[in-house]
Amino acid sequence: MTHDLQAMEAIKQLKYRYVRALDSADQVGLEACFTEDAHICFKGGVYTVEFTGRDKILEFLATSFHSKAAASHQVHHPVIDLLSDTEAQGQWSLQDVFHDLNARVIISGAAEYVDTYRKGADGAWRIAESGYTRLYEMTQPMPEQMVCTYNKLAETGRDLGL
């Protein structure tokens, strides 16, 4: 049982590292979270985003979490099933908010993540598949009086020339 609890905790830490790296545009940290052949599929209110391959996923994330955005993702309520010594599945609840400072739009919502994890030869767990389906998504214009006084992504996110 101890081995199972250690694996589950390692997978939880992986998912927490992923959302922290996402919200701070930490490309090195994100790269360490995914297998080389990883697959993502995110289904939102008006979009479906799907990519296969770590490099394509990282490029998508770099252009999404850019210097004119501010974001916060929180995952909780994990349900992790160990399928073998090297494979696991997880379900997570997500609450997030994304501010597009250029378009002055706020997107907030909740979703259910379903992930597959794979343990590498180096002993580290990584995300092999990740996807979410929105429970709800709300979009609103940013009020004129709303001012961003600090934004981590302004420092760390890719400058898209917006």
What pLDDT was estimated at residue 129?
98
- Residues in the chain with pLDDT < 50? 1
Q: What's the rounded Cα separation, in Å, for the pair 96 and 31? A: 21
Render pLDDT for 81-96 as a digit per residue (tens, 0 to 9): 999 999 999 999 999 9
Residues 6+ apart with CB under 8 A from 131: 40, 41, 42, 43, 113, 114, 115
Residues 6+ apart with CB under 8 A from 135: 109, 110, 111, 112
Starting at the earlier edge strand, list the strands of the sheet with 48-52: 48-52, 34-43, 125-141, 105-119, 87-100, 69-82
Q: What's the rounded Cα separation, in Å, for the pair 126 and 66? A: 24
CB–CB of 112/93 below 8 Å?
yes
Strand-pairing partners, residue 115, are 90, 130
Strand-pairing partners, residue 43, are 48, 133
Beta strands in 101-124 (DSSP E): 105-119
**Furthest C-alpha separation in the chain:** 55
